[in-house]
Structure formats: C-alpha cells, structure tokens
Amino acid sequence: MTHMRAYDPSRPLISLHIPKTAGMSLRSTLTDWFGPEKLHLHYRGDQGEAPERHNLQPGDCVHGHFNRLRGIGALDYYPDACQFITFLRDPFSRFVSLWRYLHFQKRHGVAVPALDDDPSFDTWFERRAEAAKGEDPFSFLAQLPWVTPPDNPSSIFENNFVTIGITENYLDSVRILATALSFPVPDDVIHINRADDKHRLGDPIDDFSKWRKRHEDVFHLEHEVYEIGCNFIKNAR
C-alpha cells in the first residue's frame, strides 16, 4: 500500500488539478474549507498568460493546472513544496473527454494548436501514442511533480501526497480528503461544470470503446498509476 504523508498545516498544500477530473468541483470545496484568502489559483490567463506565482504562507493551498512539461509545474513555481493532493480519472475516459473538450474550446474561438489540421480521433490517438514514447504534455503524468518511474510508479506518491482522489469515487475521495485535512466530513458533494457529454461535446464514450484496449496497451503507465489511486481509495474507506 502506498504510504501517504500526514498533512502539515504549517506548510502549503499543492492541489494538482488534472484536466477533466472534477477539478472545478474540488475547487469549490477547497474554497469552503480554506477560505478565499488562503486558497490560491494556478491557471493560465485568457490569452495564455502564465499563472501567477503566489507568496505562500503556512496553511495556504494552491489549486490549478500544473504541468512540468509546459514550464508551469508545481516545483517550477514552488520548489520547496512537499505535500500534494490530486484526483485521477480512468485514463481512457479522460482521454476521450479531453479530445471532446478541445473541440468544444475550438468551436468557441479558443486557439487549440493540436487541432489546427482538424485531425480525426484516430489520427489524434496515433499522435498521442507516438508522444507516449517519451513524455507527452497532454498526459496526466505531466501534471505530477516528478517523472513517474515505470519500474516503480507508486513511488511518485510515496511520502509526498496526503491523499489521491478518484473521480469515479468522488464522494468517498472527498470524505477521505476531509479527514486527512481535519475538515468536517461532508454528507454530500456538489458537482460543478459536469456537462452531459452526449449533448455538449459529441457522441457518448461507448462510441470510442474500440480504442480502449489499445489505449491500455500504449498508455499502460497511466493505467498503472490510476490503479494505484483506486487501491488507495479502496483501502482508505
């Protein structure tokens, strides 16, 4: 079992919002817990401006899209950071959701260079598969503070993470997080920005199911890391 660190309220907490993992819902909960004066955000500006670097104080929390392959990683901004939280999602479901969300952004006028030539899903998949031979900034592994060692992926969480959440077990994950941070355990949770993908972003995920097995083969390290998170939630209940 992965060994988590005990939360130290005298140190800042870094919340790694992996895209398409209910991060906006978690942001609302963190705001309730820490208060707007202690919760800081780490997101690019509307024109792609780099996130603000905050002068962190004891007990602060920073929540946002960190990505070490894009120069906005947690340790790029806060090299002394030592305690983290994050939520993971089934890697294939997240892959499809990200594909559809990028199209949603493009339709609404946001520049998405990866879609400039209007690739098919199959082409997009093969580009990501090629990128996976190294490190791909679209992979959720790029959001983590360090490179994930293929021979020991659980070490990425050892002694540095307070908890790992799982989007598919969101309520249990938030309750475990509340206990770890010594906040009241909620009876329920709110969901923000959870769109019905079938109506908002295209066809349901079942239409992409023929790619799942290949995704598991190509992005096996992502799936291994996700299983580590699932096992943590199962054992922490």
> What's the pTM value of the predicted model, to 2 decimals?
0.91
Please tell me the predicted confidence (pLDDT) of residue 190.
76
The DSSP bridge pattern shows strands 61-64 and 39-42 to be parallel
- Cα–Cα dist 59/173, whole Å: 21
Cβ-based neighbour number of residue 23 at 10 Å: 23
- Cα–Cα dist 204/196, whole Å: 9
Question: Going residue by residue through the chain (237 aa), what tens digit of pLDDT does each one get?
Answer: 578 999 999 999 999 999 999 989 999 999 999 999 999 999 998 778 999 999 999 999 999 999 999 999 999 999 999 999 999 999 999 999 999 999 998 898 888 899 999 999 999 999 999 999 999 999 999 999 999 999 999 999 998 999 999 999 999 999 999 999 999 998 877 777 655 444 344 455 568 999 999 999 999 999 999 999 999 999 987
Token pair 């096996």 in the structure block, residue: 220
Sorted by where each begins, the domain ranges of the chain are 13-236
- Cα–Cα dist 123/120, whole Å: 5
Contact indicator for 81, 145 with CB cutoff of 8 Å: yes
Contact indicator for 2, 29 with CB cutoff of 8 Å: no
CATH number of 13-236: 3.40.50
Please tell me the predicted confidence (pLDDT) of residue 237.
77
- Cα–Cα dist 158/5, whole Å: 8
What the block records as the tokens of 1 is 């079992």
How far apart, in Å, are the Cα atoms of 34 and each of 27, 219, 232? 10, 35, 24
Compute the residue count for the chain: 237
For the chain, how far is it from start to end, CA to CA, in angstroms? Answer: 13
Please tell me the predicted confidence (pLDDT) of residue 46.
75
Strand-pair partners of 86 = 16, 164
Strand order in the sheet with 161-166: 39-42, 61-64, 13-16, 84-88, 161-166
Q: Which 8-state DSSP code applies to residue 153?
A: G
